[in-house]
Amino acid sequence: MADALLVPDGYRPRLVETRLQSLMESFGCVEVRGPKWCGKTWTALSHSASATRLDDPSERAAAELDPRLALVGDRPHLVDEWQEIPEVWDAARRLVDDSGNRRGLLLLTGSTSLSQADRKRIRHTGAGRIARLRMRPMSLVESGLSSGLVSLQGLLNGSTIDPVPQETELLDVARWICRGGWPANVDLADDSAMLTASQYIQAVLDVNVLNEGRSPALALALMRALAVNQSQNVTHKTLARDMSYGEKGVEEATIVAYLELLDRLFLTEELPGWEPPMRAKARVRVKPKRYFTDPSLGAALMTATPRKLLSDAQTFGLLFEALVIRDLRVFLSTYTGLGNDLFYYRDDKGLEVDAIIEYGETWAGVEIKLSETKIEEAVANLTRLRDKVTANPAARHAEPAFLAVIVGRGHLAYTRPDGIHVIPVATLNA
């Protein structure tokens, strides 16, 4: 069967493929969703024997006449950009039903979540027939920029770290941020690769935003405001001021509508607040942070270059945090089971920890620092968090699987005498 699959020439395997294969063995149809250019189509093709591309005018015209025509082909069959014809969803669900719930029949890819109006064109949720899988741009290890010698899942399962040498300079980290995790960039020189994010933003404004009947100028102003507030749990009021050069500016309802659009286009993604008990009110009361799906987008919106970042440590640090959050999300998306998610922690005493990983029934705390010079400060935060959580009688599974400081510039991955790991980002793997 492998010989019949449509594996593109030059395709680099992705970490999420193991999870995709698992879902295909459990469901009749799998939707792979995520931002444009992140590699969804190539990954789906590598697991497909035939394909319909709804961005092709002739194939789209046929599907508009009868959505079932989009599903014709050898199995597994891929429908690329299915959201162009929302009725394809119901047709896929019916095909799975009519097959007697056979597994691995169809793959759908989509780079935009449906609008409220388009959702009304779908009659069925697809529950039990269609699984959903979120895909993101490449992590450093997928791009060939990490040695991959430190497994995040291994740490979550209780593994220790044998000292792993890794020499990384800040200029390397700045380059990785500005290049981004776009698969088409892997073999390009820096100058060419760094054009991708700005072109991505322009394409979204010229096509997607206009197609939604929204203002490209307003969308761009909001994206720039999000970029300058990178990695912060910023309020709508602050965004409105930053969009309007300090004036009152845009109404809150408009901000909310445009933020929802950016999320639907998979340009941005929220990072919720965390509290140990699952029913803790802080989980819904702490304002989420919002990150761009790839750090290169924030860099492009601020016209950042590697050299500029080296002279602006604060911006550099916030963009590095976005890079690590991206990679942690990529890794977590490959794990089976429920309850694998990413959060951040902030309390009313000023304690903040950059990333909290929930994995099954356990958790881990991660601080993200640009260089090893900030390790002691990070360790102090992690220690305070562990002490606070373990002192809470309402928190089950209170002991963390691990605590770690992920650094940009580093020379060694190792475990400190206090048990806290120090991990250069260029050693991380799923």
Q: What does each of the 430 residues of the chain score in pLDDT, given as a tens digit?
A: 444 899 999 999 999 999 999 999 999 999 999 999 999 999 999 999 999 999 999 999 999 999 999 999 999 999 999 999 999 999 999 999 999 989 999 999 999 888 877 877 888 888 889 999 999 999 999 999 999 999 999 999 999 999 999 999 999 999 999 999 999 999 999 999 999 999 999 999 999 999 999 999 999 999 999 999 988 889 999 999 999 865 567 899 999 999 999 999 999 999 999 988 655 555 546 789 999 999 999 999 999 999 999 999 999 999 999 999 999 999 999 998 878 999 999 988 889 999 999 999 899 999 999 999 999 999 999 999 999 999 877 766 689 999 999 999 989 999 999 999 999 999 999 9
Question: What pLDDT score was predicted for residue 120?
Answer: 78
Q: And the tokens for 22?
A: 């698992």
What domains sit in the chain, N to C, each tagged with a CATH number? 2-134 (3.40.50), 150-429 (no CATH)
At 326-340, the pLDDT tens digits run 999 999 999 988 789
- What global pTM score does this model have? 0.94
CB 27 within 8 A of CB 19: no
Helix axes 313-332 and 170-179, enclosed angle (nearest 10):
60
- State the CB neighbour count (10 A cutoff) for residue 353: 22
Q: Going by DSSP bridges, is the β-strand pair 352-359/341-346 parallel, antiparallel, or unpaired? A: antiparallel
Helix H or strand E encompassing 166: strand 164-168
Enumerate the H helices of 125-169 as residue ranges. 152-156
For 214-239, b/e burial (b = at least 16 CB within 10 A) is: beeebbbbbbbbbbbbbbebbebeeb
Q: What is the pLDDT of residue 278?
A: 57
Q: Nearest CA to 25 among 103, 119, 85?
A: 103
CA pair distance 116, 40, nearest whole angstrom: 24
- Element spanning 366, H or E: strand 362-371
Q: Which of 319, 353, 358 is nearest to 152 (CA)?
A: 358
pLDDT of residue 282: 56
Burial label for 347, CB within 10 Å (0-12, 13-18, 19+), is middle
pLDDT at 284: 47
Residue reference for tokens 């998979």: 266
Crossing angle for the helix pair 236-243 and 252-264, nearest 10 degrees? 90
